Structure 1
Amino acid sequence: MVKAKTGRPRSEKSREAIINATHDLLAEKGVAGVTIEAIAKRAGVGKPTIYRWWATSADIVLEAVLSQAETSIPVPTCDSLGEALRQFLRQSMQSIADGGGAHLRFLMAQAQKDEGFRERFRANFVAKRRAALVSIFLEAVEDGQIGSDHNLEMVVDMIFGAMWYRLLIGHAPMDKSFADELTQIILGVVQDKAKF
């Protein structure tokens, strides 16, 4: 959870209203519509309520995205690396299709403009999603499906690199077919030492 300041505990009802207002504004109006003023008006709360709990509108989006990712893109429990990776990537594509793509583009744009937010984004979202993906490969290593000599951080960079590139550039779809193709390419890398 991203928290700007300490203070009295949050009202869960106000928190949900703020998160929902942020989702709606981003979907309806894009980046320009996501201001603290607009969020407060849509959520029916005062700006001081928002500023007590979040430093910027991007931090609200970050909390919403992280919460969604943890529930809609869990680490799958499967017998094979291929199936676990395929499920993880398909769930990621579905989350992006369901509106998460706009949120992620907004967060990445904010991270380029605000170094402090970039650190919060990296620590609160990027690191957690990377850890989730690394855990899939570590389980495959423990089960003897792949060797322990792979640079798993580089493999994760390859996966998320392909995903972020498509998300930010928009030159090709982010769908089930992309998830499946990316899975096959990565399996080829980690299962063939000559390629890695």
Structure 2
Amino acid sequence: MPEANDSAHPRTTRTGGRIRSEDARAAVLAATADLIEEAGYGAVTMEGVAARAGVAKSTLYRWWKTRATLALDAYGQAVARRMPTPDTGSTAADLTAFVEELYRVVEHPFRVNALRGLMAEAQLDPAFAEQFRSWVRSRRAIVTDLLARGVAHGELTPGLDLEHAADLVFGPFWYRLLVGHTPLDPADAPAHVRTLLSGFAATPPGA
């Protein structure tokens, strides 16, 4: 039978430590996101984030080995909150809402800076590249799920190559973001989606 001290206190101690740890982690992610929003990816340093979050730098390294992994975690969480999965009952409306919000990154230059910086890191650091691809896959999964729903509802052609279709959705975004040959504009999203869906649409029987 456990002694009284064993049963009375350990649970409270562990829970308090867990809460403090979660609070510290949330403070670090918030500080990182704020730095990205205010000054861009280049402003993110482990020292600067630690000071802003009010934690020791060793606390950061316990969870994130590099500033790139930290920035990706913070940016990814911010994107997930800003871009919930649309579900209006219409594939066209859902995809348009997603693409409009995707393109809206240009309204925040430091977010553009962050994406470009993270993409550059992914080309130079093989270990980070896999983390970056994992995050990209999570964003692509939203689109492939929307398209699969459209196929299931008879809005899109059966047998649609969902991975290729997702490439076509994200292609203009990344190409324009990275090359800068022409601007990204949220106002273009409806037309872009209409063009895409005209190629994905199910053919009416007898057509």
Shorter-chain TM-score above 0.5 = yes
Q: Is the 8 A contact 2:33 2:75 kept in 1?
A: no
- Which residue in the other structure is 2:23 paired with? 13
- Which residue in the other structure is 1:32 paired with? 42
Superposition deviation, residue 141 in structure 1: 0.5
Structure 2 residue ranges without an equivalent (≥5)? 1-16
Structure 1 residue ranges without an equivalent (≥5)? 1-7
Q: Which stretch has the larger CA shift, 18-27 or 47-56?
A: 18-27
Q: Is 2:61 the counterpart of 1:51?
A: yes
- Which residue in the other structure is 1:114 paired with? 125
Identity %: 37
1:136 partner amino acid: L
Q: Is the 8 A contact 2:105 2:111 kept in 1?
A: yes
- Which residue in the other structure is 2:7 paired with? none
Q: Name which of 80, 85, 90 aligns with 2:95.
A: 85
Q: Is 2:176 the counterpart of 1:166?
A: yes
- TM-score, structure 2 normalization: 0.80
For residues 79 and 137 of structure 1, the distance between their equivalents in structure 2, rounded to whole angstroms, comes to 12
For residues 148 and 36 of structure 2, the distance between their equivalents in structure 1, rounded to whole angstroms, comes to 36
Superposition deviation, residue 192 in structure 1: 7.1
Superposition deviation, residue 108 in structure 1: 0.7
For residues 162 and 17 of structure 1, the distance between their equivalents in structure 2, rounded to whole angstroms, comes to 34
- TM-score, structure 1 normalization: 0.84
Report the RMSD for the aligned CA atoms in angstroms: 2.1
For residues 137 and 83 of structure 1, the distance between their equivalents in structure 2, rounded to whole angstroms, comes to 12
2:167 partner amino acid: D
For residues 159 and 165 of structure 2, the distance between their equivalents in structure 1, rounded to whole angstroms, comes to 12
For residues 58 and 24 of structure 2, the distance between their equivalents in structure 1, rounded to whole angstroms, comes to 12
2:63 partner amino acid: W
2:49 partner amino acid: I
Query: Highest Rg: 1 or 2?
Result: 2
For residues 149 and 29 of structure 1, the distance between their equivalents in structure 2, rounded to whole angstroms, comes to 45
Q: Is 2:138 the counterpart of 1:128?
A: yes
